[in-house]
Amino acid sequence: MSYTTNVQVTVRRFWVVGGKYETMAFDRLAEGTECVYGPFVSEEDAQSMWRSVNERTRCQATLRFTIAEEPPLTPAG
């Protein structure tokens, strides 16, 4: 006897993204300063990197980073 299951595994990926902004309005990154770290498979890992990056750059007022999550990927099967 054979059983077939339709189990879908959702893959989540997180990135830490940011860089130096042109002004304190934080509406446009300065060209060439973009930074991307990742991908991370857990939000906790991304948060750890985010804290590390922010700690290293906290004295630079126009640097800002955030955590971005990709839309969920469902592997083809």
Under 8 Å between Cβ of 13 and 68: no
Task: Compute the distance between CA of residue 56 and CA of residue 30 in angstroms, rounded to an integer.
Answer: 19
Whether 47 shows a pLDDT value over 70: the answer reads: yes
Q: What percent of the chain has pLDDT over 90?
A: 75
Query: Is 70 inside any structural domain?
Result: no
Range of the domain at 57: 36-64
Average pLDDT, rounded, for the chain: 89
- In a domain? residue 19: no
- Is residue 56 in some structural domain? yes
The number of domains in the chain is 1
pTM of the model: 0.77
